[in-house]
């Protein structure tokens, strides 16, 4: 069992942080990598990118939003309880070096994934400008931590309850217009990453995104996490999860993310109409 030593509720209880004892994983984990967790023997395999790692304590931290049965099961676990299985670290770590000026853009729970990458970029000597966005101020996470590792922190909310009233792309465009940017890292909802990538392409700024396709085994064998990058098929679990945002087919990714949802809705329709 992988014991939970800290549990914190964020965003009015809809987002949960777990710090988990996993010394072997923590020893090898690097920014950008993920783990697959199973709550109990009957649980579903859920991939989550690590929001933090403490090698001395031997812990990893995950942050997730409660959106369905499996994450509800995760959220029911208390301090002292734990996950039945955790596999990792998986995926390729983020390539970190001194690029110059790096703009890190996070949306929603994507900010949790962005945090260790932004910190790594700062430690490598980069000027780090962070933009964090959410629907409303109540859904902002890790604001204090992002502030500490950033030269500048910009907040955006869709409803204007905190920071800029608008999208992260509005803030990003102003930064791109005002100074030379050497790299943009964008992590969050797929539409956000798509429009960030379209914007940065206008300015010829290299852009890295972290993708979240449907995933089963995490080793490249099932093929469920395939994405199209530069016209070629890649597996996010082994080739990623990070890719060149200018090369990603985001429309194809969004179609694949909704595939099972459409099947579920169709099944419900059939049941209601007594066709099954």
DSSP string, the chain: -EEEEEEEEEGGGTEEEEEEE-HHHHHH--TT-EEEEESSTTPPPEEEE-SEEETTTTEEEEEEE--SHHHHHHHH--BTBEESEEEEEESPPP-----SEEEEEEETTHHHHHHHHHHHHHHTT-EEEEEEEESSGGG--SHHHHHHT-SEEEEEETTSSSSEES-HHHHHHHHHHHS--SEEEEESSHHHHHHHHHHHHHTT--EEEE-----SSSSSSS-TTEEEETTEEEEHHHH-SEEETTTB-HHHHHHHHHHHHHHHHHHHHHHHTT--
Confidence of residue 270 (pLDDT cuts 50, 70, 90): very low
- Residue 260 confidence (pLDDT): 61
User: Is CATH 1.25.40.20 correct for 2-90?
Assistant: no
Q: What is the pLDDT of residues 149-167, one digit of tens each?
A: 999 999 999 999 998 999 9
What residue spans define the domains of the chain? 2-90, 94-210, 211-276
Predicted pLDDT at 261: 56
> Contact, 121 vs 104, CB < 8 A?
yes
CATH architecture of 94-210: 3-Layer(aba) Sandwich (3.40)
Check: CB of residue 125 under 8 Å from CB of residue 182: no
Q: What local confidence, expressed as pLDDT, does residue 183 receive?
A: 98
pTM, full prediction: 0.86
pLDDT at residue 94 is higher than 60: yes
- pLDDT tens-place string over residues 199-212: 999 999 999 999 88
Q: Per-residue pLDDT for 272 more than 80?
A: no
- Angle between the N-to-C axes of helices 190-202 and 168-178, in degrees from 0 to 180, rounded to the nearest 10: 20
State the average pLDDT over residues 10-34: 92
pLDDT at 262 over 70: no
Q: Are 179 and 102 in contact (CB under 8 A)?
A: no
């Amino acid at each position: 069992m992988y014991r939970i030593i800290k549990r914190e509720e964020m965003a009015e209880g809809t987002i949960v942080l777990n710090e988990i004892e996993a010394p072997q994983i923590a020893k090898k984990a690097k920014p950008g990598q993920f783990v697959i967790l199973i709550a109990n023997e009957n649980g579903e395999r859920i991939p989550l990118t690590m929001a933090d790692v403490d090698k001395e304590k031997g812990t990893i931290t995950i942050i997730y939003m409660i959106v369905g049965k499996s994450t509800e099961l995760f959220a029911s676990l208390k301090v002292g309880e734990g996950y039945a299985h955790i596999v990792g670290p998986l995926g390729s770590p983020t390539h970190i070096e001194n690029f110059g000026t790096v703009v890190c853009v996070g949306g929603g729970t994507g900010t949790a994934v962005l945090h260790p990458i932004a910190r790594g970029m700062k430690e490598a000597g980069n000027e780090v400008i962070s933009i964090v966005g959410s629907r409303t101020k109540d859904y902002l996470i890790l604001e204090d931590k992002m502030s500490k590792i950033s030269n500048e922190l910009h907040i955006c909310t869709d409803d204007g309850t905190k920071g800029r009233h608008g999208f992260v792309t509005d803030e990003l465009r102003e930064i791109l217009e005002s100074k030379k940017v050497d790299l943009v890292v964008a992590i969050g909802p797929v539409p956000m990453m798509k429009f960030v990538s379209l914007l940065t392409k206008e300015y010829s700024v290299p852009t890295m995104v972290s993708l979240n396709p449907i995933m089963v085994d995490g080793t490249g064998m099932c093929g469920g996490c395939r994405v199209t990058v530069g016209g070629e098929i890649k597996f996010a679990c082994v080739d990623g999860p990070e890719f060149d945002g200018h090369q990603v087919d985001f429309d194809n990714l969004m179609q694949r993310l909704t595939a099972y949802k459409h099947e579920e809705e169709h099944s419900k329709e059939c049941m209601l109409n007594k066709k099954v």
